[in-house]
Chains A and B, each alone.
Chain A
Amino acid sequence: MTGPIPSIALVGNPNAGKSSLFNALTGARQKIANYPGVTVERKAGHASFADGRPIALIDLPGTYSLTPASLDEAVTRDVVLGKQEGEKRPDALIVVVDAANLDNHLCFALELLALGLPTVVALNMLDLAERDGLTLDPQRLARELGVPVVPTVAVRKRGLADLLEAVDDAIRTHEPREVVPAPRSDASLHQRARALARAATLSETPVRRWTQRVDSIVLHPIGGFALLLALMFVMFQSVYAAAEAPADFLESGIGMLQGWVVDTMPDTFLRGLIVEGVLAGVGAVIVFLPQILILFLFILLLEASGYMARAAFLMDGLMGKVGLSGRGFIPLVSSFACAVPGIMATRAIPDEKDRLTTILIAPLMTCSARMPVYALVIGAFIPARNVGGTPVGLQGLVLFGLFLSGIVGALLVAYVLRRSVTRGNAAGFMMEMPRYQWPRARDIAIALWQRAWIFLRRAGTIIAMTTVVLWLLLSFPKAPVGQSQVEYSVAGRIASGLEVVVKPIGFNHDIALALIPAMAAREVAVSAMATANAIDADGDEAAMAETLGERLQGKWSLATALAFLAWFVFAPQCISTIAITRRETNGWKWPMFMVGYLFLLAYAAAGITYWTAVAFGLG
């Protein structure tokens, strides 16, 4: 039989191990995009039958039933019913059920079977079920359900081959069958599922479950909280400690590349554009890839092991006090790496107002793009000594203070928003706590690679483009001899206009100039200052030998430097965040609101910092 490539959808409950199975079937041959019109991630990939015929697989968002409670659950329903715009109805379903939780997962399976599509049930994570003392009878379950049931363990190839073979058979032998409708009421559906699970269970040995003991520590009202804080602390420490060597490596690599271009190309317009524009600008950003990956590695490990749901449990009390829910914790932690995936992760929050509030405060989490700015200014203005006689470094303490200001700011903003613009019902919080699991290296590697790719693509597009535009604006028109090129250029003149507005909060011409291109991405502020200084110092040997930090020390007061840091705690300078907010909220209203309130806060915070510092004689 030849014809179009059959498309097969993986569908099942949350925590059924669907994604692991998808990764095992497709390997790295995956493509992540969005469903048209909605912002739910569409995970598609390729695999092939034993004889080499290709298949297209899609991994649908996990859900409990065909009655959706959130955006991504609605996509699952629409795809299996063939109602999703731009997506053809799958030719077959692989219904993934957790072997250790048949009581619950068979409910959704029964609903899916009633659709009448060619269907195979993957009895997944059979190894974990055996660990829990369960012995199951897949044949019996297959007889009861009337479709093939294939035991699978995502890491073992054997079950995967059987699964695809069963799918192949199911498509080939499929004829419209007498569909048994699923029981109509929830109670009878559950009764039927329980009866099926009982029939398929050969024996059930009660095993002393160590996970229960782990939870009594991890979820302890005080001890669990201390553990969570310790984990967060280790996470941020590693981000700065472990990323140092690879970041230095990348930095020297980019420097070498610049040197090579200078040596091999004649001194033309194009060379300036490549060296001072593209390489300087994009390079300044790519240097932060190691930090972002380490942070994502931690987040992925915490999620895959089942800890993240526990963290959400612990944080729910605190977040409930400001009108959020524990669900919001995961997106907010992700926002420490980057607000864009953080905001995308809010889709799992069912309550609309709760979700909107979480989106609006996500940019207040100190994302990795702020690091270059903080590192430059702290390095230049805060002395590298310890606080009193302690081993706590003053620079690190200032950095921690900036992180903390963001978090406290976010909680206060949430508190105010939930009592004004996003007022609504008290947010609910209902979620399943997955079992503890050892994260699979393959799953983590695939997810990390996808994150790295998104970041690099961003660096290659938005950031490359802004730096090129900035370089052009800084280079023209050419200043007459004796005048500063930066001041004379188009960018310099725009900055002089902006300087009027930001002068009261202590900002100078340098900063005004950096703020405009930094609208594209915060880290561009650093590369903008670097480019401006490079053009400014052109030909002056002494000036060129100085580092950017040293040059700033000569030009800025401490009060200005502190105000600049305070500005970046709040300022919404990131096109990607604004764009994703527009997409996730379906319009310009909320991104505009977000930009407005964040600029107001940034202006106020920088102003208060500057005036206070000046009053203490630091101006």
Chain B
Amino acid sequence: MTALLDRAPLGVAVRITRIDWNAISVDEGRRLREFGLMEGCEIVPLHRGSLFSRDPLALTIGRMKVIIRSRQAAAIEVEPAAA
């Protein structure tokens, strides 16, 4: 059962199943990969937005915390990590 990362519930570990590289720019795609966000890796979405909007999204990948916008998160398909 997959969902898009921009709708994924916070605090729950998920695994990336697919990234729609065409929905984001080449540079954005490369930075995602440099962060380690690739098919198969496990992440935890943690914080979303503030007073003014639902953007951005903070998540952990490995031992790192990164911030992305929900437009990029919408290109990332995830499934619940092995329970």
Give residues in A with beta carbon < 8 Å to B.
64-65, 67, 69, 100-101, 103-104, 107, 132, 186-187, 190, 215-216, 219, 221-222, 224-225, 309, 312-318, 320-321, 326, 350, 425-426, 428-433, 435
Contacts and interface: CB of A to CB of B under 8 A. Distances in A.
Interface string B56-83: 1010001111111101100000000000
B65 A69 contact: no
Contact of A317 (B27, B49, B62, B63): B49
Nearest to A320: B55
Nearest to B59: A433
Contact of A100 (B46, B53, B63): B63
Nearest to A197: B62
B25 A428 contact: yes
A190 B36 contact: yes
Contacts of B27: 69, 350, 428
Contact of B50 (A100, A190, A309, A314): A314
Given A104-B36, A313-B47, A313-B58, A433 B66 contact: yes
Interface of B: 25, 27-28, 30-36, 38-39, 46-47, 49-56, 58, 62-69, 71-72
Given A221-B50, A314-B50, A433 B25 contact: no
Nearest to B46: A215
A321 B46 CA distance: 22
Contacts of A216: 47
B24 to A, nearest CB: 8
17 contacts: A65-B34, A69-B31, A186-B33, A187-B38, A187-B39, A190-B33, A221-B50, A225-B51, A313-B58, A314-B50, A317-B50, A318-B50, A326-B56, A425-B25, A430-B66, A430-B67, A432-B35
Contact of B68 (A103, A219, A320, A430): A430
Contact of A215 (B47, B56, B62, B68): B47
Given A104-B64, A309-B67, A317 B53 contact: yes
Contacts of B36: 103-104, 107, 190
Given A69-B27, A69-B31, A103-B36, A428 B72 contact: yes
A52 B72 CA distance: 52
B35 to A, nearest CB: 7
Across chains A and B, which 8 residue pairs bring their CB atoms closest together, nearest first? Answer: A317-B53, A64-B34, A317-B52, A433-B65, A186-B33, A219-B47, A103-B62, A318-B52
